[in-house]
Amino acid sequence: MSIPQSGGGPIEHIDQLADYLASGCKPIEEWRIGTEHEKFGYDKATLKPLPYEGPTSIKAMLEGLRDAYGWNPIHEGEHIIGLEMKGANISLEPGGQLELSGAPLATIHQTCDEVNEHLREVQHVANQIGAGFIGLGAAPIWSQDDMPMMPKGRYRLMTDYMDKVGTLGKQMMYRTCTVQVNLDFASEADMVKKFRVGLALQPVATALFANSPFLDGKPNGHKSWRSRIWRDLDPARTGMLPFVFEEGMGFERYVDYALDVPMYFVYRNGEYVDARGQSFRDFLKGKLPALPGEIPTLSDWADHLTTIFPEVRIKKFMEMRGADGGPWRRICALPAFWVGLLYDDLALDAAWDLVKGWDAETREALRVAASVDGLQGQVGKLHIHQLAENVLDISRGGLRRRARPGFSGMVPDERHFLTALEDTVEDGKTPADELLERYWGDWGQDLSRIYADYSY
C-alpha cells in the first residue's frame, strides 16, 4: 500500500481536487508504465509467513536489500518499513507481503528488466536469511491468525475498521497479493475512455491471471479467491463503478465519488490520526471531528485517494487492479496486456467497440464469473475464454503498432511479453487450473508441495 504523501498547500477551493487529478494529463510522448507486484515471503524451515523481526524476517529482508544493493531506507518511527531508489519503492503490505512499486518507465522492456533485477536481488537476500518467496493471489495454507502485522499505523486503523464494513477485508489486507500496472492519460476524454475500457475488461484480466484457488489449506471453489474477497470488503470504496459509464463522467464526477468514500486517517507529524468513517467533505469545511478547525492539504487528498479500492482507480495516473499475483514469468505480461490495449488509439477504439454495449449488470456478472470459473466463465452469450482471445488479439495489435524495440533493436516490439497469456488462452488453463491439477494429481492433496514447486 501507498507511502504517505507530503507537500501541497491547503485546499482553498473544491476545484483544486479535480485540478489535482487533471494535472496528471500528459502528451503521449511522456506516457510511462509503472508496474507493481506483491509476493509472499516465508521461512523455508517452517513454511510460515515471515515475521517483521528476527533473523529470518521482513526486517532482515529490507536491511539486506539496503546493505547489498544501496536502497535507501524509509522509516515509520523506529521501524524500517520500506526502501526507495531511482523512482522505485519497496513497501510492505499489512501481512508482510513485499511489494515493488516500479519506476515510471517508457517501455515494457525496461519494466521487465526492472522486475528481473528486483527479483534477483530478493532471491539473493532471501537465500542468505533462509527465506523463500512465492507468487500467488492468496495465501494457500496460512490462517488469519498465522499472519503478522507490519508496524505501520495505517494498518492498525484499517484492521480494526474492516469488520465494521464487510466480512473479508482482513483477508484482503493480510492474505492476498496482486500485480497491477499504472498508466497515463492525455486528457479528460482520454481518461474516461481508458477508465471505461479498463473497468469493462478487468474481468478478462482477472480470469487470465487467476491464481488463488486455495485458502486455509484446501480448494476454495474459486479460480480467483482474491477477486471474490473484493466483493465483500467495503462497498463504499470497491467495485466496478457504474457511474463511470454515465454521461458527464470526468474528473469532477470522480471527485464527487471520492468525497463520499469514508476516510481512514489523516497523516500528521509522522503519526496517523484516526478519522475512520469521517467525511472529507467535512474536512474541506474545517469540520473534521478528528482535527476540528483544520482544513486539508493536497497531500491529505492524495492520501485519501489511496484508500479507495475500485477495480480501476485514478490519481494522477490510472491503476489496473484486477489481477492476482503470480509467478515470475507472468509479471511482465500484465503491463503488456494493458499497454497494448490502452496506449494505441486503434486498439483502444477496438476495445471500446467490444464492450460499449454491455450494461452494469453484465459487467458485474463477468466480474463474478471470472472469479469463480476463470476462463471457463460465461455470462449469457459472452464466454470469457473467447473474450480473452479477442482482447489479446487487440492488445497484440496495439503493441505491434507501438513498435517499441528492445534488446538493442533485435526485438521489434513488445508483443513477446504476451506469450504467457497466449499459452493460457491456447490451452484454456489459468495458473489456478494448473495448481488444482497438481493438487488433485501428483501432490496427492498435500498443499505444502506448492512452496517447493512454485517459489521464485
Render pLDDT for 136-173 as a digit per residue (tens, 0 to 9): 999 999 999 999 999 999 999 999 999 999 999 999 99
CA-CA distance, 126 to 133, in Å (whole number)? Answer: 8
Average pLDDT over residues 160-189: 97
Which band of pLDDT confidence, cut at 50, 70 and 90, is reported for residue 438?
very high
Torsion angle of alpha carbons 403, 404, 408, 412, nearest 10°? -30
259: number of Cβ within 10 Å:
18
Which residue has cell 484446501?
Answer: 218
Average pLDDT over residues 98-116: 97
The answer for residues whose C-beta is within 8 angstroms of residue 410's C-beta and 6 or more apart is none
Average pLDDT over residues 30-55: 98
pLDDT of residue 212 exceeding 60: yes
Amino acid at 317: F
CB 224 within 8 A of CB 326: no
pLDDT of residue 4 exceeding 90: no
- Quick one: pLDDT at residue 7? 61
453: number of Cβ within 10 Å:
11
Number of H helices, E strands in the chain: 18, 17
- Quick one: pLDDT at residue 8? 73
CB 334 within 8 A of CB 137: no
Average pLDDT over residues 236-263: 98
pLDDT of residue 441 exceeding 80: yes
- Least confident range from 4-8, 280-284, 372-376: namely 4-8
Helix, strand, coil share (%) of the chain residues, nearest 5:
45, 20, 35
- Give the global pTM: 0.97
Average pLDDT over residues 419-448: 98
pLDDT of residue 250 exceeding 90: yes
Nearest C-alpha neighbor of 191 from the set 14, 25, 33, 28: 25
Amino acid at 351: A
Q: For residues 406-423, b (16+ Cβ closer than 10 Å) or e, as one string?
A: beeeeeebbbbbbebbbe
CA-CA distance, 199 to 392, in Å (whole number)? Answer: 16
- Quick one: pLDDT at residue 6? 55
C-alpha grid cell, residue 325: 499475483
Which band of pLDDT confidence, cut at 50, 70 and 90, is reported for residue 24?
very high
pLDDT of residue 216 exceeding 90: yes
Which band of pLDDT confidence, cut at 50, 70 and 90, is reported for residue 3?
low
Q: Is 323 helix (H, G, I), strand (E, B) or coil?
A: strand
CB 88 within 8 A of CB 101: yes
- Quick one: pLDDT at residue 2? 60
- Taking all residues of the chain, what is their mean pLDDT, rounded to a whole number? 97
pLDDT of residue 268 exceeding 70: yes
Cα atoms found within 13 Å of the Cα of residue 262, Cβ hemisphere only: 16
Q: Pinpoint the alpha helices (H) of 343-383.
A: 345-355, 360-373
Report the largest interatomic distance among the alpha carbons of the chain, rounded to a whole angstrom.
64
pLDDT of residue 314 exceeding 70: yes
CA-CA distance, 370 to 141, in Å (whole number)? Answer: 23
Which residue has cell 489535482?
Answer: 20
Q: Are strands 271-274 and 265-268 parallel, antiparallel or unpaired?
A: antiparallel
436: number of Cβ within 10 Å:
16
pLDDT of residue 45 exceeding 90: yes
Render pLDDT for 197-207 as a digit per residue (tens, 0 to 9): 999 999 999 99
- Least confident range from 4-13, 56-65, 308-317: namely 4-13
Nearest C-alpha neighbor of 35 from the set 259, 333, 335: 335
